[in-house]
Structure 1
C-alpha cells in the first residue's frame, strides 16, 4: 500500500480506519479539510435509518440530498439517524465523526452515481477536519459492495432570491398555492391567515417612535403586562447584567440596569416572537430558537461598541434586528406546518448546505423572504424589514445596509462556535473594513459573550418559559 501524507501537521487517523485501509490495500493521501476544495469532489457522508435499518449515504457537496428522490429510488422512507444512535455506532468503532468508508461500518452503503465522474475525491476519515483523498480507481474498489443511484439535486440550480424583494409577494403566493388546497385570494394576509399584531406591540411601536417618550411611559406600559413586567425584572436581576444590588421594581430595572432602548426593543421582540408558537418538530441538534436569538442580539450589541462611533447604527434597533433575525423560521412553521417537517428532515441530511438553499428547493421561498414580508405587513420599521430581508446578501448596499451586514457577520461568528446549524463560512476582510471592525476584536466580543454562556442560556429559557422546544 502506498500512503502519501500531505506536508504540515495532521491529527492521526483512527486505528479502525487505518486497519480498514490496510486490509483493502487502498492507496490514499490525507489532507486537511478546506473550504476551497471543489464541492463536486468533496464527499458528504450521512447515516440514515427507517424501520428496516440503517443506511450509509455518500454524495458530493455540490448536491442536495433529496429525500423524496431517495424514497423513489429505495422504496424506503429514510431520515437522519437519531443522534444518540449515531454516537453509539461511532463509539463502538472508536471514531470521532462519521467516515465515508463503506467497509468500516456494519451497514449497507448507497452513493450518488455522479461521484464516479470525478478523477479524485475527498472523503471523511472519521477524524474531524482530516480527509482521505482517493483516485477514481481506488474509489471503485472502495465502493465495490455499495449501491449507486441518482438522488442528488445540483445546488447551483437552486437560486434563493437574495436581492429581488419586489418579487417576494408573488413567490410567497406561488409557494402557498403549491402547498395548500386553499384557493388563493387577492390578499396574501388572508390566504395564509397571519395572526394580527398584538395590541401590546402596537403600543410599544407608538412609544418607540415617539421622540418625547420617557422612562415613565415605558415603565407604565411594561407594568400593564404582568408577564412582560416579570420578564424585564428577571432580566435585570440576571447574572449577565450583574446588578450590584437587588432589582426592586420595573422602574428600577429600566433606570439602573437595562436602560430605555434595550427594554423597549426587548418588549417589542417578545411581543412579536410570542405571536407565533415555536414549532414542535425541528432538526436534530439545532440551536434552540430563543438561545440563538439572544446570542445574536448580544453579539451585535458588543460589535457596535467596537465600531467607530460615527459609523454605528442605532443600538436599540440593531439589538432588535438581532433578536428577530430568524423570525421567518417561525413563520415558515406556521404557514407550512406539514411541509416544515420535510424541511427539518432535509436539513438533518444536508448539513453542508445553507438553510436558504434547502427552503428554496422545497418551498420556492426562504424564511428571510416571508419573515421580512411579515414585518412589512405589520408596519414594522424599514430598518427591521431590511435587516431580515437582506441578511444573507453579503453585498447589500442599501440605505440601512449596516443592519443586515451586522447580522451576516454575527451569524457566521456564532456558527464557528456551534450556534446555528448552517455550514461554516469564511468572513471576508472587506466586510470587517466596511463595518470598521477589527477581526481580532470581533472574536474577543464573541468570547466575552460565551464567557457569560450560563447567564445567557437562562435569559433564553425565560423567553420560552413553557420548557424546551
Structure 2
C-alpha cells in the first residue's frame, strides 16, 4: 500500500501546476491546429496538410471516418475524403487537436483509468455531447463544436496526473479498478487531496484553450453550477449520466437528469435515441482507443 502525506502531496501537486515550465507544453502539432482553429479563413487544404504531417494522426482520422455509423467504410481512403465527406472541418480539427495534445502525456494502458478505458469513454462522451447538442432547442446556449471539444478534453486531468506522478496514479488506477462501484473522484479526494477535474482545469489554462473548456473541465462533476458557461457543464454531465459509468458519478445526485435536459431544451426521447446511437458505437470506440494506446 502506498503511504504518504495527503496534504503535502496535494500542495506539491498544486505548486507544480502553478509553476511555469512544470506542466508539459502544448505539443507543436496541437499548437498549429489551435492556430488554424483561430484563423477565420482557414481551409480544408491547410487542415489536411497539417494532419498528414503526422502519419499516426492521419491514420487515426481515417479510422474514425470509417466507423460504421457514418456508412462509408473503406471507401474513405484519404484524409481529404475523411474530412470533406464524413467529419467536416471542425470535427476533424477538434479530434486531431485532442489526439495530438495527448501525445506528450504518458499513461499506463490498462485499468479503469488506463489510456484505453479513458480514451474509449472520452470518445463516447464527446460524441454524445455532439449528438445532444444537435437536438437541443435552445441552440443559442451552446456552440456544438466547443461542446464536442469539451468532451474530448474533460479527462485530460487523468492524463496529466499519470504523467507527473506515475507511481501514485498507478495506485489510484488499482483502487478504482478494485472498487468499480466507488466514485473515482471521491477516492482521489480521500487519498490524494486533489482531483482530476482541478488538475485538468490547470492544464487547459496553461495550454490557452477556450475558456468554455476550462470551466467545463473544472465544474464537470457539479451540474448545479450556475456561473459562466454553465450550459456546457450541464451538457457534459447529461452525457456522462446517460453513459452510466459508475466511476464518473457526479456530485449532484439531487439534480434530476430530466431537469438538466429540460434546461437545455433536450427532449427525453431524442436523448435516449442519441444514447442508443452512441452505445452502438462502443466497440468501435474501444478499438480506436486500443489502437491509440498501441
User: Is 1:224 matched with 2:53?
Assistant: yes
Change in Cα spacing, 1:284 to 1:246, as seen in structure 2 (3 Å) is closer
Does structure 2 retain, via aligned residues, the 8 Å contact 1:391–1:407? yes
Q: CA deviation at 1:187?
A: 5.5
Change in Cα spacing, 1:411 to 1:196, as seen in structure 2 (3 Å) is same
Structure 1, residues 311-365: CA drift from partner, whole Å, max 9, x if none? 3522222111112211111111222222223323433455454222211111111
Structure 2 stretches of 5 or more lacking a match?
Answer: none
Structure 1, residues 119-154: CA drift from partner, whole Å, max 9, x if none? xxxxxxxxxxxxxxxxxxxxxxxxxxxxxxxxxxxx
3-state SS of paired residue (2:69) = coil
Aligned residues: 288
Q: CA deviation at 1:375?
A: 0.8
Distance of 2:114 and 2:107 partners within structure 1:
16
Query: Which residue of structure 1 lines up, in the alignment, with residue 172 of structure 2?
Result: 343
Does structure 1 retain, via aligned residues, the 8 Å contact 2:65–2:76? yes
Q: CA deviation at 1:396?
A: 1.3
Higher strand share: 1
Distance of 2:282 and 2:75 partners within structure 1:
22
Query: Which residue of structure 2 lines up, in the alignment, with residue 397 of structure 1?
Result: 226
Distance of 1:246 and 1:437 partners within structure 2:
34
Query: Which residue of structure 2 lines up, in the alignment, with residue 421 of structure 1?
Result: 247
Structure 1 stretches of 5 or more lacking a match?
Answer: 1-66, 70-170
Q: CA deviation at 1:366?
A: 0.6
2:80 counterpart (229, 248, 251): 251
Distance of 1:207 and 1:287 partners within structure 2:
28
Change in Cα spacing, 1:227 to 1:400, as seen in structure 2 (3 Å) is same
User: Is 1:188 matched with 2:14?
Assistant: no
Change in Cα spacing, 1:244 to 1:351, as seen in structure 2 (3 Å) is closer
Query: Which residue of structure 2 lines up, in the alignment, with residue 310 of structure 1?
Result: 139
Q: State the structure with bigger RCO (CA 8 A, min sep 6), 1 or 2.
A: 2
Distance of 1:200 and 1:242 partners within structure 2:
29
Aligned residues: CA RMSD: 2.9
Distance of 1:284 and 1:271 partners within structure 2:
20
User: Is 1:445 matched with 2:274?
Assistant: yes
Query: Which residue of structure 2 lines up, in the alignment, with residue 276 of structure 1?
Result: 105
Instruction: Output the TM-score relative to the length of structure 1.
Output: 0.56
**Superposition pairs for residues 50-449 of structure 1, below 5 Å?**
175-177=10-12, 188-190=19-21, 193-243=22-72, 246-280=75-109, 282-283=111-112, 288-308=117-137, 310-311=139-140, 313-348=142-177, 350-415=179-244, 419=245, 421-422=247-248, 427-449=256-278
Change in Cα spacing, 1:229 to 1:435, as seen in structure 2 (3 Å) is same
Q: CA deviation at 1:410?
A: 0.9
3-state SS of paired residue (1:392) = coil
3-state SS of paired residue (2:147) = helix
Larger Rg: 1
* Greater CA drift, 374-383 or 340-349: 340-349
Distance of 1:442 and 1:335 partners within structure 2:
38
Q: CA deviation at 1:216?
A: 1.6
Does structure 1 retain, via aligned residues, the 8 Å contact 2:9–2:192? no
Change in Cα spacing, 1:377 to 1:462, as seen in structure 2 (3 Å) is same
Change in Cα spacing, 1:345 to 1:251, as seen in structure 2 (3 Å) is closer
